Amino acid sequence: MVDPGQPSPADARSRGALAPTTVVLDLGNVLVRWEPERAWAALDPARVAAFHERVDFRAWNLAMDGGRSTAASVADVAAAAPGHEVVAQTYVDRFLDTLAGPVPGTRAVLEELDRAGVRLLALTNWSAELFERARPLLEGVVGLSAFEAVVVSGVEGLTKPDPALFRRVVERFDLDASRTAFVDDARHNVDGAASVGLRAVHFTGAEALRAELAAMGLPVAPVSPRV
């Protein structure tokens, strides 16, 4: 039990910690909305539902994020679930349709950090092939040029939440983990980042992100209270 009249250990650590000098952001559902079902808008919904019954889409997609080629991934479906490879191929072919525009408010936070000179990196679970296809669109939606680098899991052959991927980023960019904020919408990725000492933030929306980054001492305008 913590004495309610005393600050919690977490609060004390937060007040004693130096502000981060680097912010690492996820892309999908942090800066750009990813809605995979949009790829199949022209297909019979029953056919898409049957695909999901036979194929673990999350695991299939994660394999591409980990470096498996799109061609090999579609072939995997043809071998394991014959007849469903057309739905898989449609996802690959129509991938850009899955990027449904900006996550409201987050790019403004990114731009404020950039103007203030905060070091910015991106770390995303994404197929190497599909990321390169999406790069021009992402530049317009997200503003990739604000980032010093974008680390793509499909290029690295590792996916979040593997701690080895976070350690690789820390080492490659000579980061001080204790002064690096990491932002991701997936709780398991946040936990993976925290396991190597990053100051991990679970993204639930731009306003909450502003509040958390401001509390860390980062130069973002706090959310104005509603009246």
- Whether residues 210 and 121 share a domain: the answer is yes
- Whether residues 73 and 111 share a domain: the answer is no
Q: pLDDT, tens digit, for every residue of 142-197? A: 999 999 999 999 999 999 999 999 999 999 999 999 999 999 999 999 999 999 99
CA distance 81 to 91: 16
- Whether residues 111 and 132 share a domain: the answer is yes
Neighbours of 208 (CB within 10 A): 13
**What pLDDT is stored for residue 12 in this prediction?**
33
Look at residue 202 and give its three-state secondary structure: strand
Give the chain's domain count.
Answer: 2
CATH of the domain at 197: 3.40.50.1000
CA distance 24 to 201: 10
- Whether residues 80 and 114 share a domain: the answer is no
- Whether residues 60 and 140 share a domain: the answer is no
- Among residues 157, 188, 142, 155, the alpha carbon closest in space to that of 25 is found at 142
Percentage of the chain lying above the pLDDT 70 cut:
91
DSSP 105: T
Query: Whole-model pTM?
Result: 0.90
Q: pLDDT, tens digit, for every residue of 12-63? A: 334 458 999 999 999 999 999 999 999 999 999 999 999 999 999 999 999 9
